[in-house]
Every structure is written in structure tokens, then in C-alpha cells.
Structure 1
């Protein structure tokens, strides 16, 4: 069960992953390691006279390449951490204050000389592509610094969880590809989905999703875009991108162990695909994760 549980993903949710046991240890984080450790434990318990053999088997799973030089972006980046509770983010009375705080943090990053400033998922709690005045302000600031921030997007009566990139007066919107099961979409037939949305989500509709992974370039450096949950999925690491900027809102889960679990999953993906991940978060610390 322990060996195959990681391949069981009900409704696409695959966070039950026993490879995470070996993240932040001197073992290789893989199913191969788990198998060797289980075999060693069985031998040690069943045949305690062969304890040395158990240690030898475990030694086969040690990561001897942990001192590889980490890759980092060739320019300074400001990863913003915020701590806005989920019940406050979408209140009309707090929207203006949140927007002002975001603009102040962007100005601070400009003062610090950063090339990019990254704000978390839903940093701007509104349909940013319909907010003309705010778009104009962000475009103006983008002549001094590239801005990556999360907000809602819409077109053709569809709603998207999106990343917005502002750089040198230009705007690019990148929509989320993999939605959270039962959080952003109900992965069930429509007649059941509509009933669940009516009962639990005040008749809200599911988010729509992009058709493929999305990348953008800053100063010629290609960066993979990721929003929260999808940054922990293998599909986002197609072609093994060197760099990923992920934005997350963990206020949904505060207080809980979810941010720690998410961090370990990102470390696992960074190691597996040799990708450096820059992670900006609301509700838990932001971090740079290297392979």
C-alpha cells in the first residue's frame, strides 16, 4: 500500500505522497528509496542478526549529489509575503486598503533595486483586466520594475484564476491550467456539480482553465507560470523548466499543516525536475526552492 499509494489520485488530487518522507533528509526522495527502507526494516525486525545488511541496503538510497550548485535568476527578485485572512480578502471594505498596500510593496521593491516583484495569488481581489485605473498605475510602475501578481480574469463570460505580468508598459495574463478539485471546480457530472455549487457555493460557477502550461520571458530568461495547487503537479513541469515563479494563497488553510506539506511537495518537484521555484505566498512564508 505504501509503495502504490502515491499513484492513487482521487479526482486528480495527488497529495498523498510517501516520497515526501525523504524530503529534507540525506536520502533520495523517491519510491525506490521507500522500497529499500521498507525492505531494510523488515529484515532488521525479522532477522535481527542481519542488521548490518539492513544498513547496507539503506546506504543505496543515500543522495550523494546533494552539493550541486543551485541555479538562480540572473537578477534580483522580491518575493512578497502577505498575511491577509481569507474572510478579509474579498470584503469590499478592505479592497482599497489591500490595493494600496500592494502598491506600497511594489514601490519598496523599486527602491530596493529589484528587477521583479512577485505578489501572491489573489493579491488584487478583483477582476484586474476590468480595472482600468489600476491597470494604468501598474503599467506605469512596470517601466521601473517587472510586476507579477495574482488576480481574477474574465472573458466570454468565463472566470479565471490568473497571473498578471506587467513589464516595460506591457501586460500579459496567464490563466491557471490545473484547478483545485472541489475548490475551483467540481469534477463531477453537471447535474451533480450544479447541485453542489448551489448548496455549498451560493450558486457560484466553476472557474475555467487554460489549455496548456504558460511561460513568459523577462530579460530573455524563460519562466514557467504556476498558481498554487498546480505548482505541485507533474504536468506543470513538462520540458523541465529551469525556473518557475509560483503564487499561492494559503489563507484558506490557516492555521494548519498544509503550507508545510505544500512546501515539501515543491521541494520534491524541484529536485525531480531540476527546477528552481520562486514562491510568493499569502498566509505562510514565501521562499526560494532550489533542486
Structure 2
């Protein structure tokens, strides 16, 4: 059942807390900037180390979390290098374009995803200018408040709701990461996937969407294609699975529609988790260290693929690439994102992911359908209100 996903209390809270977080950056003393960045990096991204629970080096988790925190400590050391708001306003405005090691989840603009403010770059600049006026004690308090108030009003957006999408069922599964790749659990997981598809058929849904690697096998090499094609005569099936070609494995999305199937490989690989953002000689050495000498190469596509299914024109995206601005350019009005958040739960990662997805939905005027393992499935509207959560 779909429920409202953007209560007004959340919008009110974000409309207050998001500007306060930027105000703190503008007011922070220069000598505190590294420690401040250290806490920001750890508080927002400590979960990146949790995936090490599932390899041979779980003892590295504290070290990885510390390295991530130090990276953002250095980032804020440069970002807030001078006390002057004339330096910090443009620095903060441009900060969302700076991605250490290709990791682009620090987007200050996205703090306003569920607020009453617009999420375009001009509105973000107006908010920063308003906060700078309030933070600069050299200005007349009355003058600063009046001008800041006008800038805040210019950045506001009249809240709207979108019409709920009918006939679409994104699935939320609850498979532990330790069980996901277990050969002992493979048959039961596959049977559960087919049961979910049959349930969606019984509910007369048009599309059912399963999470990233819902079929944790090279689906194109399996015997599951014929039964999925047969079911696709009754319902469009979108699912995450692997695709094998030679010695290369792809993290892909499969679309089964009216007796035919297509696939789209992941384009943007997650740094460190799926690709090492280093020169080949170093990246290959790290791959061998963490994953062993005999591993398949993880490939990626060179461009995004768009499809026109029976129900929707859409662009499929896999997890991390759904939180990248590159994925939204020249795309259809609907984007389907499949994720496996079992690597990182329990943590704040699913919340940050949803905030970023909502930000891009509003910024690019897209509707995002998200199916996930170990976190809620939802449909995000391009307006402030009107999200749907599926439980």
C-alpha cells in the first residue's frame, strides 16, 4: 500500500535545519574548520566502511571510517579557508561540484530536497547570500534582516502535490547481505522473487520492480529467462541481476516486457566498492588484495539506455548512479532505480540516498521509482509532496 512520504512536519524541519547547517559553515572560526569537516565526514559517511563486514578484512572498518573523515576534514579545511563570507559563499555554492575520489554524495543543495525552498542553483545562491547577511556582524541588523528576508522569500516555492502513479509496484526485500550470495539460499531467494511477481499479477499491476541483483546470478546464462518471458506477457518485470560476457561481469537491469527482454548495464560504478579511482597498476593491486587474484572484471556501459515499455518510458539506473546528476540529463520523465542497501544497514545511508534522489527528482522534474533490498521502496515525485512509500 502506498502512503504519503513527505509529511509537512518534515518539510518544516528541513526548511529550518538546512539553512542552519549552512549558517554554521559561514560562522565557523577558521581554526575549527578541519575538526568540523572531520565530524561532518564521519557523521555523514561512516557507513561507507560497513561493507568491509562482508570481506576478509572487517578489522579495517574503523580505519576506513577514519580515512573518510580525514578526507572531509581536508576538504573543509580548504572550503572554509578564509573567514570572509565573500570567500565562503561562492565556495559553498561550488562545493557540490567537488567530488573527492569521484564520490558525489556531499551535495549541500540536496539538504533542501524536502524543504519549502527551490532546489536550483540560483535559489541556493540566494539562500547563501541571505545567510551571509545575517552572519556578518558588521552590517546593520535591521538592514541585514530585511534584505535577507527578501532573498529567502525569492528562494521559496509554492508547495505542490503530484498525482499518484497507479499500477506500479516497486518491491522492498529483506535479504541479509550474508545470505544474498549464499548458494544454500539461492533457490529460496529466486522462488521468493517469482512469488512477488505472481502477487503483483494477482493485484493487476502493470509493472513490478525487483531490487538490484535480486537474481544474484548471471541471468543471461541461466534457465530463468523463459519463465520470466512468459510472465512478462501478463506484467512488465524490471529486475536487477548480473550479466556475464567472457571474463567480464556487469551489474545490470533487465526489462521483461510482452515476451521480450532487454538489459542495461550500470554506467557509473561506485568508487572503491566497484571501481578503484586510481591508476591501473594501483587499482589492480588493490583489487587483488581485497578480492583475490582470480576475479571477474566488473564492466560498465559507456552510455545510459532508455526504454519505452508497455506502461512507461523509462531509464533504468543501478543504485549509486541514481544519485549522480549525469544520469538525469536528456532522460525520459521516469527513472527506475534499483538498489541493494544491505551492504550498509543499519545506518543513515538509505536516508541520504532518498534525500539525494528527491533532490534530483525536483531539480530535473523527474519521477523516480526506487526498489531496494533492506530499505523501503518508494516513488518520488518532482513536487515537494506526493511521494509514495511501499511497505
Same fold (TM over 0.5): yes
Query: 1:33 aligns to what?
Result: 123
C-alpha separation between the residues in 2 aligned to 1:71 and 1:236? 24
Aligned to 1:53: 147
Q: Which of the residues 108, 114, 128 maps onto 2:219?
A: 128
Question: 1:107 pairs with 198, 201, 208, which one?
Answer: 198
CA contact (8 A) 2:168 2:207 kept: yes
SS of residue paired to 2:173? coil
Rounded Cα–Cα distance in structure 2 between residues aligned with 1:108 and 1:9: 42
Give the Cα–Cα distance (whole angstroms) in 1 for the partners of residues 318 and 276 of structure 2: 18
Aligned residue in 2 for 1:212: 303
Structure 1 residue 36: Cα displacement:
2.5
Residue segments in structure 2 that go unaligned for 5+ positions in a row: 1-78, 80-91, 383-391
Indicate whether 1:259 and 2:362 are aligned: no
The answer to whether the 8 Å contact 2:206/2:311 transfers is: no
- Equivalent residue, structure 2, for 1:70: 162
Check the 8 A contact 1:78/1:118 in 2, yes or no.
yes
Q: TM-score, normalised by structure 2?
A: 0.70
In 2, Cα distance between equivalents of 1:19 and 1:159:
35
Q: For residues 135-150 of structure 1, what are the structure 2 equivalents within 5 Å?
A: 135-150=225-240
Provide the secondary structure at the position in 1 that maps to 2:122: helix
Q: Aligned runs of 1:200-239 on 2, under 5 Å?
A: 200-203=290-293, 204-219=295-310, 221-239=312-330
SS of 2:93's equivalent in the other structure is coil
Deviations 1:106-163 (A, max 9, x none): 010000001111000010111111112x222212211111111111101132110011
The separation in 2 between residues aligned to 1:71 and 1:164, in whole angstroms, is 27
Computed over aligned residues only, the root mean square deviation of the Cα atoms, in angstroms, reads 1.7
Residue 197 (structure 1) aligned with residue 290 (structure 2): no
Segments ≥4 residues shifted beyond 6 Å = none
Distance apart, 1:207 and its partner CA: 1.2
In the superposition, the TM-score normalised over structure 1's length comes to 0.93
Larger radius of gyration: 2
Say which of 115, 118, 137 aligns to 2:209. Answer: 118
How many correspondences in the alignment?
287
**Pick aligned residue for 2:277 from 168, 187, 192:** 187
Aligned residue in 2 for 1:247: 338
Quick check: 1:81 aligned with 2:172?
Answer: yes
Deviation at 1:205, TM superposition (A): 4.4
SS class of match (2:337): strand
1:48-81 superposed Cα distances (whole Å, 9 cap, x missing partner):
23323321221111013x32x63666x6111110
- Counting only pairs closer than 5 Å after superposition, residues 17-32 of structure 1 correspond to structure 2 as 17-32=107-122
User: Which among 146, 149, 171 is matched to residue 261 of structure 2?
Assistant: 171
In 2: Cα distance, 1:52 partner to 1:26 partner = 20
Q: Which residue of 2 aligns with 1:96?
A: 187
Distance of 1:42 and 1:245 partners within structure 2 = 39
Task: Supply the distance in 2 between the matched residues of 1:220 and 1:114 (Cα, whole angstroms).
Answer: 10
Which of the two has greater helix per residue?
Answer: 2
Three-state SS of the structure 2 residue aligned to 1:268 is helix
